[in-house]
Structures are given as structure tokens and as C-alpha cells.
Amino acid sequence: MEMPVTGMLNEDGIHIDMDHLKKGEVNMAITFAGGVILGADSRTTTGAYIANRVTDKLTRVSDTIWCCRSGSAADTQAVADIVRYHLGMYAIMEGEQPTVGVAAGLFQEICYANKEQLS
């Protein structure tokens, strides 16, 4: 399934189709030659009610790896904390920093193993 293009990075900056970004959560990533730029909105909602306007949805899980959280705040924070712990242990045991592939695999394994408990 092809995702619709809602934004582009041109020489004169980022151009975003705001009609696609008016509702719901906004997490985005833009790659460039030196890495990735992450962005996220800061609202936490409970139904139509905005419970918190200053939530940090970008979470550091290792020295060089961050994740964008979306969904149940408690669940996503718990999963990120577990991944952070395991990536720290990986760095100690392997003597090197984990790769993005290792982190992604760990997120996938934890989420799949707990799919019935996560909301």
C-alpha cells in the first residue's frame, strides 16, 4: 500500500499539505545526508479532550537512537523504557552501540509478544 505524500523537502524548505495534518497525532521524520530529523506534536488527548499540551513524544532509547511515540502514552512509554533497558544491556554485553536494526527488531518483538495487552 502506497502512503500519500503529505510533505516535501525542497531547497527552499519543507512544504507540508496542512489539510492532511489538521487532526490526530503528528509524527514525522525527514532523512538527509547526515542523518534523520524527527518531529512530533506535543498534545496528549483523551477522546476530544486535550489532557496535556506539552507531552514529549520523542523518546531517547540509546545514545544515537530515538523513537516517536504514538498511541496510549502509558503503553508507549513502558515499551520505550523496556527497549532502552535492553539496548543498554546490549551495549554492555557486545561492547558496541546497538544499530537501528537491532532497536527496530526489539521494538517489534516486544510489541508483538504483548499485542493482547497493549492498547
For residue 45, the cross-strand partners are: 50
pLDDT above 90: residue 33: no
Please, which pLDDT band fits residue 7 given cuts at 50, 70 and 90? low
Return d(Cα 11, Cα 24) in angstroms, integer.
Answer: 28
pLDDT of amino acid 50? 63
pLDDT above 80: residue 80: yes
Q: What percent of the chain has pLDDT over 90?
A: 34
The amino acid occupying position 86 is: H
| The residue count for the chain | 119
pLDDT above 60: residue 17: yes
Return d(Cα 101, Cα 55) in angstroms, integer.
Answer: 27
92 exposure class (CB count in 10 Å sphere: 0-12, 13-18, 19+): exposed
Residue ranges in the chain assigned as alpha helix (H): 73-94, 100-113
pLDDT above 70: residue 87: yes
- Cα–Cα distances (Å) from 99 to 16, 38, 62, 80, 103, in that order, read 30, 17, 10, 16, 6
Mean pLDDT of 42-55: 64
User: Which pTM was predicted?
Assistant: 0.68
